[in-house]
Amino acid sequence: MATGQIFSKTTQALFYNYKQLPIQRMLDFDFLCGRETPSVAGIINPGSEGFQKLFFGQEEIAIPVHSAWVPFIEAACTAHPTADVFINFASFRSAAASSMAALKQPTIRVVAIIAEGVPESDTKQLIAYAKANNKVVIGPATVGGIQAGAFKIGDTAGTIDNIIQCKLYRPGSVGFVSKSVRDHFNSSCLLYAYPFKNEASTGGMSNELYNTIARVTDGIYEGIAIGGDVFPGRHFLIMSFALTISLRYNDVRPVKMIVVLGELGGRDEYSLVEALKQGKINKPVVAWVSGTCARLFKSEVQFGHAGAKSGGEMESAQAKNQALRDAGAVVPTSFEAFEGAIKEAFDKLVEEGKITAVKEVTPPQIPEDLNIAIKSGKVRAPTHIISTISDDRGEEPAYAGVPMSSIVEQGLGVGDVISLLWFKRSLPRYCTRFIEICIMLCADHGPCVSGAHNTIVTARAGKDLVSSLVSGLLTIGPRFGGAIDDAARYFKDAYDRGLTPYEFVESMKKKGIRVPGIGHRIKRGDNRDKRVELLQRFARSNFPNVKYMEYAVEVETYTLSKANNLVLNVDGAIGSLFLDLLAGSGMFTKQEIDEIVGIGYLNGLFVLARSIGLIGHTFDQKRLKQPLYRHPWEDVLYTK
């Protein structure tokens, strides 16, 4: 990034509080500018997680969505370390808290606050923190900013038609800063008829100046709308309105002249006056302070937003314009003459050879949306499925980005494939070996358990393999093989809360809940489940830590004092050891571990393993040509 620049063609942002239109406009601008990567890295939205489908030119992309509560902003920033801009579309009630949370993240460099009416005390705190930590705040009450041909914030510059008309898809030579971002009366107090489509939310006066500058110069290099509230972030970003932006533009080589649009109210423009008098700015400055019509009113008038009102003669538009003129800025006699003044300054620079002609480029065509383009054939149809675990579009399928051939060539096993497809990462060998052991030990448990029984009955009824398999799988639940997730969940909660085995078991008893993972219909304290012993032996020899398993063993010791059949069963062993696998590997966050347990990954391991045995029972019955099964009468209690 060049000296003095805030944004570049690689800048990426996190977008807070999902708004489809401004995000899509950012992505369309990216495509228009020929960016290789989308400028929106992630979305933070209340009550939402997953992915949001949007368009990047013709291609539909999935942008990650993170929960929007303030504590999760850190997680979102960690997930997207390349995003250094935080675009905050929260309401004025929550904008301050979320903006402060973003400023405290080491990866965030710029925060843009769109909301108008953020409490002044909150804004002052944001400004102070940003100033102390060398960060940038744009706003509140801002439409944002734009670097032509590189990056734009939200709705800046409005529609794609406006952007093309203003030639913002490629950089020009003008640095522009505006304090006034909302539609309001111009300096003559007449409603200005904009010659292009305009929207109040996209910065009326800023858009008008983009258009004006494009008509009489080679266009904008960068434009910033600092915000219209009484205390916008200008106090840090630009040290009293235009001063630091103007000084920054003075150091940005592609910027050859500076255009400033101020407004009545406040004294920010006077810092620019002092900089001009002291010779700190050596590039032409063309400025206009709007609101000259305020003198026509008998009482104080506020224009558009909180900051646009005069608090005395020195804050009037006339006084500011005269001060800027006296300091050496080019200040026209009216807003209507502003365009001519900009043109004259630009033409002079061209004549002096300080500006060379910009090579014009033809921007690419933005594909039309389906409902508009269906008749013309220019269609981009949305996809219906998002997949992040595998891709079959290349020469060979890939699991989590790993080609099939690589999996085979490296000699990876089923555990490694599960690692890629379930956890989307390559786990250490001891982890994948543990997964394989679980599959082997849980593949079957004889013909008498409910799952195998159902499969056998279905197969003997002449049903096909899939029907027989499914009939057995449907028996898996809290009473048969489906307690692994619950065992992991309860053991984890108890251990993390520091409960003793006594406290844990007795609290479950009071709730009327049996402890998942404890108890067996056949095994006893003096006849342990061999599968449990094998799993524990492997874990103690290979895992870096088995704290959850040891806690489960302590719980078993207590429950055995109650009854001899309350042993740690295979569900409890797998559940507790899988917690140790996830936590000990160092490859999962606490939130990811909770999600894995909550979604049902561990029960999935039992389902996968037992499917092997159920398929075996199906083949066994068909191979033996067993007839239709009928349950014997003597095994039924008939009663009224």
pLDDT in tens, 71-110: 789 999 999 999 999 999 999 999 999 999 999 999 999 9
Contacts of 401 (CB under 8 A, 6+ apart): 391
pLDDT in tens, 473-501: 999 987 887 789 999 999 999 999 999 99
Q: Looking at residue 225, what is its pLDDT? A: 85
Question: Which one is catalytic: 66, 184, 235, 305?
Answer: 305
Statement: residue 467 has pLDDT above 50: yes
Statement: residue 307 has pLDDT above 80: no
Distance between start and end Cα atoms, the chain? 85
Q: Looking at residue 298, what is its pLDDT? A: 57
- In whole angstroms, give the CA distance from residue 555 to residue 569: 12
Of the ranges 300-314, 543-557, 578-592, which one carries the lowest mean pLDDT score? 300-314
Please, which residues bridge with residue 224 across strands? 145, 177
Q: Looking at residue 243, what is its pLDDT? A: 59
Biggest CA pair distance of the chain: 111
- Better-predicted residue by pLDDT, 527 or 14: 14
Query: Do residues 288 and 337 touch, judged by C-beta distance below 8 A?
Result: no
Q: Per-residue pLDDT averaged across 544-565, rounded?
A: 95
Statement: residue 427 has pLDDT above 60: yes
Complete DSSP assignment for 490-547:
HHHHHHHTT--HHHHHHHHHHHT---TTB--SS-BTTB--HHHHHHHHHHHHH-S--H
Q: Per-residue pLDDT averaged across 281-287, rounded?
A: 94
Torsion angles phi and psi, residue 254, rounded to 5: -65, -20
Beta strands 59-67 and 174-178, pairing class: unpaired
- In whole angstroms, give the CA distance from residue 111 to residue 126: 10
In whole angstroms, how far apart are CA 133 and each of 83, 129, 237?
Answer: 18, 6, 12
Q: Looking at residue 166, what is its pLDDT? A: 94
pLDDT in tens, 289-298: 988 887 666 5
Q: Looking at residue 191, what is its pLDDT? A: 33
Provide the 3-class DSSP secondary structure of residue 458. Answer: helix
- Better-predicted residue by pLDDT, 192 or 490: 490
Provide the 3-class DSSP secondary structure of residue 362. Answer: coil
Which residue type is seen at 94?
S
- In whole angstroms, give the CA distance from residue 92 to residue 89: 9
Confidence of residue 178 (pLDDT cuts 50, 70, 90): confident
Statement: residue 193 has pLDDT above 60: no
Task: Count, in order, helices (H) and strands (E) of the chain.
Answer: 24, 16
Q: Looking at residue 306, what is its pLDDT? A: 43
Query: Do residues 262 and 320 touch, judged by C-beta distance below 8 A?
Result: yes
Q: Looking at residue 380, what is its pLDDT? A: 66
Please, which residues bridge with residue 481 across strands? 477
Query: Chain-wide mean pLDDT for the chain?
Result: 88
- Better-predicted residue by pLDDT, 307 or 474: 474
DSSP state, 565? T
- In whole angstroms, give the CA distance from residue 568 to residue 433: 22
Catalytic-residue membership of 80: no
Statement: residue 300 has pLDDT above 70: no
In whole angstroms, how far apart are CA 204 and each of 103, 207, 225, 240?
Answer: 28, 5, 11, 22
Burial of 381 (0-12, 13-18, 19+ CB in 10 A): exposed
Three-class HEC string of 228-291: CCCCCCHHHHCCCCCHHHHHHHHHCCCCCEEEEEEECCCCCHHHHHHHHHCCCCCCCEEEEEEC
